[in-house]
Amino acid sequence: MDTNIRKKLLDEYLEYLEYQKNYSHYTIISYQKDILEFFQFIDRENLSFDQIQYSDVRFFLIYLKEELQLDNNSVDRKLSSLRGFYKFLANHKVVSTNVFSLVNGLKKSRKLPRYFEYSELEELFLVPDKKTPIGQRDSVILELLYATGVRVGELVSIKVEDIDFHNRRILILGKGNKERYVIFGEYCLDSLKLYLEEGRVSLNTNHVDTLLLNHNGGELTERGVRYILNQLIQKTSIQKNISPHMIRHSFATHLLNEGCDLLTVQKLLGHESVKATQIYTHVSTDRLKEVYFHSFPRAKISNNDKF
């Protein structure tokens, strides 16, 4: 198939992910990278893009595992990207069948989510200078990410009108254009009020309606949030990398460690299935021991039981 046609189909698929599936910019870039990597493979092997067979996919898996030496998680993600792309092609009659649907995902090596201890987050919260518009905005970014557990794409999409101060909740547009409410507490409320009354008024030179603005008065992007977080953590003693999703992991982990039920955390995170939330059930060993010795009746001998 002509490479120009192939590129046109990929562009159409990426637009479909953005405007119909409401995928984040970061996710779309990952899908694009995976698919382009597959294009390079089939070009190298002189394979026809629209005539891929099951055996070709098996050779591609060998290429990923043996030549690129990718782990199972990375391979499975690439398969997922290609499975979605070829489903799109099959629906548009470009290919006769989605051959990637015949390939099962590889056994994943289970990785526990990385998260911050609360003491680390407290140190991070002290970094922004709340006397400046940028500092007030950065404080809101940290407080919102931790107080609500929202994804970074959801964070930068929040409009001022989405915030219900009376009920302390925010309307979030999540994956697949699904709406949900998230809750916020006192610390987040104070940061929001200060930013809206002072910092945002100063920054909003372009009169946009999104909550978070960059230093030029435009809408803050996902990439911008990641850059800000990296700058903030460098001003702390914390020896960890940081990402918006890591703060989301912290939100979920801390809720569960404090006794919140799994279904509530699922709803707050916006997960369609509770299976996606179960990865956060890795409460710390210290917390498990604390609950055990406090709750189990025969975990320790009381003074009355001693002879």
Catalytic residues: 151, 175, 245, 248, 271, 280
- Give the up-direction half-sphere exposure of residue 127: CA atoms within 13 A in the CB hemisphere: 23
Asked if residue 79 lies in contact with residue 105, where contact means CB atoms within 8 angstroms, the answer is yes
The residue written with tokens 């007030």 in the block is 136
Q: How is residue 126 annotated by DSSP?
A: T
Distance between CA 176 and CA 123 in Å, rounded?
35
Residue 101, H or E segment: none
Long-range Cβ contacts of 124-133 (<8 Å, 24+ apart): 124/232, 124/233, 124/236, 124/238, 125/187, 127/232, 127/235, 127/236, 128/232, 130/191, 130/194, 132/199, 133/198, 133/199, 133/200, 133/202, 133/203
Distance between CA 150 and CA 245 in Å, rounded?
8
Q: How is residue 162 annotated by DSSP?
A: G
* CB-neighbour burial class of residue 151 (10 A; exposed 0-12, middle 13-18, buried 19+): buried
Residue 107, H or E segment: none
Q: What residues pair up with 173 in beta bridges, in sequence order?
A: 179
DSSP reduced 3-state for 11: helix
Q: What residues pair up with 219 in beta bridges, in sequence order?
A: 213
Q: What residues pair up with 163 in beta bridges, in sequence order?
A: 170
How many residues in total does the chain contain?
A: 307
